Amino acid sequence: MFSSFMTNTWAVASMVAVVAGITGFFVVLRGTTFAAHALPLGTFPGAAAASLLGVNELFGLIVFSGLGVIGISQLGRHQRNDVATALTLITLLGLGTLFLSLSSQYSQAVYALLFGEVLGIGSGEVAPVAIISLAVIAATVLLFRPLLLTAVAADLGAARGISNRLVDLAFLSILGLATAMALPVVGALLVFSLMVGPAAAARALTGRPVLAMLFSAGIALLMVWSAIALSYWSNWPVGFLVGTLAAMCYGVGRAWMRFGG
């Protein structure tokens, strides 16, 4: 489990977990869990497009996450946010169906992106994930106060000259990058569980925003480590284990809120 070929797995999974925990705090706080679910599903066809063009898979994921962010943001001006998210999702999935139909050798890669394949991470993926992780964390720290203020007191933020629409766009961009880099680890179907479960549990443990965000990152890290270890010994998918542990984290958080808080 700690042999040399697992080094990339532990490194990438740890970075993804920390980023998911940090961004997940604002996903829960801002009520954007649908977007956290839709963006990965709309992003993974970008890998198929990248395969057809012969470019790096991560590049395709990032491009499609950008398209998803633009679609949600622009359609959100004329539709409710949930409707805008749904319309963007079905458009990207339609394109994904086209790209997949043009490729006859992509079924295994699609399975990996849907359900996760953390044990197959190569050394070439570590540096890009590290760079994206640093960018996402830096952007979140820089925008911490506007993100927090527009989430809990939008009117007060507007009175202080903070544009809710620009902050929403910035956060969607951060979320898009975070989900794109998390896809190879837990897969598109369960990437949002890595963001929502730890963050929901952390909010139940404390009402202090900074501490809750740190708790969220720590819980996500422990959850991914546990999932990798269990997957190594049981041969069960990491995505399934992450989803199960996320549900357990949420249950423990709710129990703490009710009986321990």
> Poorest-confidence range of 5-9, 72-76, 212-216, 234-238?
5-9
Per-residue pLDDT, averaged over 42-49, amounts to: 77
Residue 21 domain boundaries: 4-191
Residue 260 confidence (pLDDT)? 61
Gap between the Cα atoms of 169 and 24, Å rounded: 16
Judge whether 200 lies within some domain: no
pTM of the model: 0.83
Task: Specify if 223 maps to a domain.
Answer: no
Question: CA 12 to CA 185: how far, in whole Å?
Answer: 8
What's the start-to-end Cα distance of the chain, in Å?
37
Across residues 87-95, what is the average pLDDT?
A: 84
**260 burial level (CB within 10 Å; 0-12, 13-18, 19+):** exposed
Q: What is the pLDDT of residue 108?
A: 61
Q: What is the mean pLDDT of the chain?
A: 81
In a domain, 234, yes or no: no
CB 219 within 8 A of CB 242: no
Per-residue pLDDT reduced to its tens digit, 145-198: 999 988 887 777 777 778 888 888 899 899 888 888 877 666 776 677 888 889
- CA distances (Å), 244 to each of 17, 83, 182, 230, in order? 15, 28, 17, 12
Residue 222 has pLDDT above 80, yes or no: yes
- In terms of DSSP H, where are the helices of 143-208? 144-152, 154-159, 164-186, 191-205
Q: Please report, as a single letter, which amino acid is at residue 58.
A: L
The region, left, alpha or beta by phi > 0 then psi within -120 to 50, assigned to residue 157 is alpha
- Both structure tokens of 167: 């902050």
What CA–CA distance (Å, rounded) separates 57 from 228?
Answer: 23
**Rounded Cα–Cα distance for residues 165 and 84 (Å):** 14
SS (H, E, C) 56-74: CHHHHHHHHHHHHHHHHHH
In a domain, 31, yes or no: yes
CA–chain centroid gap for 135, Å, is: 14
Residue 210 belongs to a domain: no
Contact 155, 103 (CB under 8 A): no
Inside any domain, residue 203: no
Task: Provide the token pair at 225.
Answer: 């480590």
Please name which of 36, 49, 13 lies closest in space to residue 172, comparing C-alpha atoms. 36
Tell which residue, 193, 195, 181, 171, has the closest CA to residue 64.
181
Q: How many domains does the chain have?
A: 1
- Here the CATH number for the domain that contains residue 19 is 1.10.3470.10
Q: Is the predicted pLDDT of residue 110 greater than 70, yes or no?
A: no
Identify whether 251 is part of a domain: no
In a domain, 119, yes or no: yes
